[in-house]
Amino acid sequence: MNQNLAFADYAVFIIYFIVVSAYGYSIYRKRKKDEHDAKAYFLAEGNLTWWAIGASLIASNISAEQFIGMSGEGFFLGIAVAAYEWLAAIALIIVAVWFIPVYLKNKIYTMPQFLKTRYNESTALIMAVFWLFLYVFVNLTSILYLGAVAINGLAGGEYLHVIMIGLAVFALFISLGGMKVVAYTDVIQVAVLIIGGLVTSYIALTTVGQYFGVGENAIEGFKVLMREAPEHFKMIIPKPTATSSQLDIDKYLTFPGLMSYLAGIWIINLNYWGCNQYITQRALGADLQTARTGILFAGMLKLLMPLIVMLPGIAAYVLYQNGHLPQLVGGKDGAYSAVLTFLPTGLKGLSVAALTAAIVASLAGKVNSISTIYTLDIHKKYIQKEAGEKQQVNIGRIAVFAAMLLAVLFTWNDILGIGGVGGFTYIQKYTGFISPGVFAMFFLGMFWKRTTGTAAIVGVILGFVLSVLFNEYAPMLFGNETLLYTAYPNGKGAFEIPFHICMGLSFFFTMLAMIGISFAGPKVNPKAFEIDSEMFKVKPQTTVLIVITLLVIVALYVKFW
C-alpha cells in the first residue's frame, strides 16, 4: 500500500498551515499594543477565556509522544494505558479545586517563583536550572524527534531533517508571538487534532471490520477488536507468576496493575498537571473561576483522548497479528503511522495536519515555558536585574530561538537515543526521575505550614537519588525480592522494578525525610502560605463539571476493569 502523500493531502495540509498562521498573526496584531509588556507576553494575563485555557492545555499535552508513543503502548498493552488519560482528568479536578487557588492567591507566575516565595532562593534556582534541562533535553527533543520520524514515514521516508526543521520553524513562528498567540492558535490546533484523530480512529475501525468480514462499520470493527484481543481490553494487568512469559512480564514492568494506582501514576499526573510550568502557565494569568473552568474543560477533553491516540494502536495490533498490516515497521512506535496508510487521499492529509498540530502546539508551548523560566527566574534575577519590560520580551524571544536550536541539534542524529527506548516510555521514565521529589516539595509546601527550605532542598535531591537507586541499582544491591518490591527479569539479562513502583517508593521515603527534617524547625514556617477554606469552595456549575467527569470515569472502569 502506498504510504506517500498525494497532491490532495498536501493541499489539505497547506490549508491548515495557512489558517493557523493567519489566525496567529491576527491575534498578534490585536495585542501589538502589549508587545513589550512582559506579563502579557509570558502569561497573556487576564486575556484568556476558559475555553482557550482548556484547549491550550490539551494542545500542549497531546503531542507526538501521545499519537505515536501512546498508540504504540495501545499496540503493546491495550486499554490499560488509557489510565494515563482518564486519571489525568481526576488529577485536573484536584489541581482546579486545590492547587490553582494557592497559586493565584499568592500571585505565583512561575514554578521557581513558587519555590522562592515558599522556601528560599537556592531551591528556586536549583529547580529553574533543572527544569530548563528537562524541558530542552527530554521533552522538547523527544517531541521534535518523534514527530519528525512519524511525518517523514508518511511522506516517503526521505525528508526527516527537512520535516524536523519545518516543525521547529512553524513552532517558532507561533511562540515568538507570546502566550496569547500560543493559547488562541491552540484552539484551532485542538480542533484539528481531535477531528483528524477521530477520523483516523474511525477509518481504523472500519478497516478492521472490512478485513474481518463484518462490513465497513466502526461499531462492528470495535466488537472485532474486543473479540480478537480480549486481553487488550483489561485495565488491570495481572502480576506475573513463575509461568508467565517474558512478554507478560514486560507488560507488567511497563504498567504494574493495581500497584500503578497505589504508586506512580498519581505522582506522574499530579506533578505534571499541578507543578509544571509548561502546563500551569496557561491558567496563572486568569481569575480563579476562569482558570478552574478551563482546567475542568481540559479534564473532560482528556476523556476523549484514548479514543484518538490509543484505539488506533489496538486496531494495528489486531490487523498485524492477522497478517493485514505488513507495512508496520519500527515496532510498536510504528503502529500509528501504519494505520494512517489506510486513509484515503485527502483524509491522510487531515490526519497529518492533526499530528502536526499536536507537535507544533506542544513545541510552541514548551519553548514558551522555557523562555518564561529563563527570563523571569534566571536572567532578570541574576544576569540583568535592571532589564525593563521591552528587554525581557526580547530576551524571552532569544531564549525561544536558542531552545529550539538546541532541540534540533540534539535530535538531528538522535544523539539522546530516543528512537531506541520508545517515545512514550522515554518521557515517562526520565521525567519520573524527578517527579517524586518535586511533587513532595510542592505538596508539603502548599498544605503543611511546617515544611522548611532545608527539607525542600533535601527532598528534591533525595527524590532524584532514590529514583535512580530503585530504577537502576536496587535489585543488584538488595536482591530481587524484598518487603518493598519485587524485581522481574527484563529480558536483557538483568532484573528490574516497574518504574511506577520505583516512583511510589521514592516519593514515600522523600516525604518521610522532608517531614522529619521539618520537625526540627518552627511549628509554622515564616514563609508558609496563608490558606483560607474559602479558597477551595466551588460554584455549582463547577460541581456539575466535576460530577459529570467522575461519572464517566466510573462507567469506563466498570466496563473495562
Residue 515, pLDDT > 90, answer yes
Region 100-105 average pLDDT: 92
Grid cell locating 318: 489486531
* Contact call for residues 118 and 527 (beta carbons, < 8 A): yes
pLDDT of residue 423: 57
Query: To which H or E segment does residue 396 belong?
Result: helix 389-411
The predicted-structure confidence for 275-325, as pLDDT tens digits, reads as follows 987 778 778 878 899 999 999 999 999 999 998 889 999 999 999 999 888
Backbone CA torsion sign across 32, 33, 39, 43: negative
Gap between the terminal Cα atoms of the chain: 37
pLDDT of residue 474: 96
Calpha distance 249→489 (Å, rounded) = 8
Region 515-530 average pLDDT: 92
pLDDT of residue 1: 37
Give me the residue label for grid cell 511506577: 500
Give the residue among 82, 3, 102 at the shortest CA–CA distance from 343: 3
Pairing of strands 495-496, 488-489: antiparallel
According to CATH, what is the number of the domain 7-19+52-418?
A: 1.20.1730.10
- Percent of the chain whose pLDDT exceeds 70: 92
Q: Give the residue extent of every domain in the chain.
A: 7-19+52-418, 433-530
Region 504-530 average pLDDT: 94
Calpha distance 262→365 (Å, rounded) = 31
* Contact call for residues 196 and 355 (beta carbons, < 8 A): yes
pLDDT of residue 535: 87
Residue 491, pLDDT > 70, answer yes
Residue 246, pLDDT > 90, answer yes
Residue 547, pLDDT > 90, answer yes
Q: How many CA atoms lie within 13 A of 405 on its CB side?
A: 6
Complete DSSP assignment for 219-230? HHHHHHHHHH-G
Question: Interior CA angle at 295 toward 110 and 407, to 5°?
Answer: 50
The predicted-structure confidence for 13-45, as pLDDT tens digits, reads as follows 888 878 887 877 777 777 665 555 566 666 555
Query: What angle, rounded to 10 degrees, do the helices at 179-211 and 7-30 form?
Result: 160
Calpha distance 225→245 (Å, rounded) = 23
Residue 494 CB: number of other CB atoms within 10 A? Answer: 11
Residue 174, pLDDT > 80, answer no
